[in-house]
């Protein structure tokens, strides 16, 4: 009888231990470990191919605030100097975007690849000026002049969508398409700005853009 009881006790403890280990393992693999990500927009280095931009740098910081939701802050600056026979033009400014990203990809708990849809608010303070502008008209003649520095700002809302994949542990690369709608701006009554940093063409109220970015992620806890 005592032997039978010992056998049952041994089996019961073993089953308990098995269940305990199994359930502990499942909990770890189903919990997502959040993280803080730092990124750089690589496409900004290529902007000068299609726009007269001398320097455009853009960085991002994002924080996972839920299983499929992240808060993101982006910031950058842009300078444009154009010197042509009939004008000199200079524009400089910074830009900032704040918002959230929502992942729609079904994924494993610790998979970092994502298909994101984002909604951001954008803001840019900047200035521009022009010198030695020559206007020629075959009938009315010629004129020249300069326009001094004018400080401007612009606000917009951005809806973006894109994908990102993990290429090495905690290193991600991705792209996103950005659609931007201008909310407000202070107008320069004499000269329309050529660009709005972080937005696009200065004379448009709607803009499409694209970003290719590299991100390093620091997990809150060590990933298994």
Partner 1 sequence: MRSRISLLVSAFLILGIHACNLNKSCDKHTKFPVETGFYNSLSLSLRDTILQDITLYGIGREDSLLYNDIDTNRLNYRLSPFSDTTKIVLHAFSKVDTLTFYYNRHLELVSQACGFAMFFDIKEINFTKNFIDSLFLIDHLLDANKTEHLQVFVH
91 in helix, strand or coil?
strand
Q: Which is nearer to partner 1, 98 or 105 (CB)?
A: 105
Total residues belonging to the chain: 224
- CA 157/CA 176 separation, integer angstroms: 15
Q: Which residues touch 9 (CB under 8 Å, ≥6 apart)?
A: none
Q: Candidates 9, 17, 84, 146: give the one binding partner 1 (CB under 8 A).
A: 84
| Interaction between residue 127 and partner 1 (CB under 8 A) | no
Q: Candidates 40, 55, 73, 133: give the one binding partner 1 (CB under 8 A).
A: 133
- CA 70/CA 157 separation, integer angstroms: 17
For residue 32, the 8-state DSSP code is P
- Tell me the backbone φ, ψ of residue 92, rounded to 5 degrees: -140, 145
Kindly state the tokens that stand for 60. 């991002």
Q: How far is the CB of 121 from partner 1 (least distance, A)?
A: 25
| Interaction between residue 143 and partner 1 (CB under 8 A) | yes
Q: Candidates 26, 86, 146, 151: give the one binding partner 1 (CB under 8 A).
A: 86
State the residue for tokens 């290719």.
Answer: 212
Size of the site for partner 1 (CB under 8 A): 36
Q: Candidates 7, 10, 203, 224: give the one binding partner 1 (CB under 8 A).
A: 203
Residues that bind partner 1 (CB under 8 A): 43, 46, 49-50, 52, 82, 84, 86-87, 89, 113, 130, 133, 135, 137, 139-141, 143, 147, 163, 165-167, 173-175, 188-192, 194, 203, 210, 212
């Amino acid at each position: 009888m005592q032997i039978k009881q010992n056998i049952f006790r041994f089996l019961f403890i073993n089953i308990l231990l098995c269940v305990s280990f199994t359930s502990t393992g499942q909990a770890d693999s189903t919990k997502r470990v959040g993280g803080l990500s730092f990124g750089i927009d690589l496409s900004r280095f290529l902007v000068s191919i299609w726009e007269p931009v001398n320097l455009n740098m853009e960085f991002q910081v994002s924080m996972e605030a839920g299983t499929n939701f992240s808060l993101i802050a982006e910031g950058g600056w842009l300078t444009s100097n154009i010197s042509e026979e009939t004008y000199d033009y200079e524009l400089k400014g910074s830009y900032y975007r704040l918002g959230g990203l929502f992942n729609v990809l079904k994924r494993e708990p610790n998979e970092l690849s994502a298909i994101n849809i984002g909604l951001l608010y954008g803001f840019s303070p900047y200035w521009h000026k022009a010198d030695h502008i020559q206007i020629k008209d075959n009938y009315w003649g010629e004129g020249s002049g300069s326009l001094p520095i004018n400080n401007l700002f612009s606000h917009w809302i951005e809806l973006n969508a894109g994908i990102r994949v993990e290429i090495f542990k905690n290193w991600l690369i991705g792209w996103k398409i950005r659609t931007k709608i201008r909310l407000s701006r202070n107008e320069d009554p004499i000269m329309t700005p050529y660009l709005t940093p972080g937005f696009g063409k200065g004379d448009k109220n709607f803009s499409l853009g694209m970003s290719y970015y590299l991100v390093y992620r620091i997990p809150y806890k060590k990933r298994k």
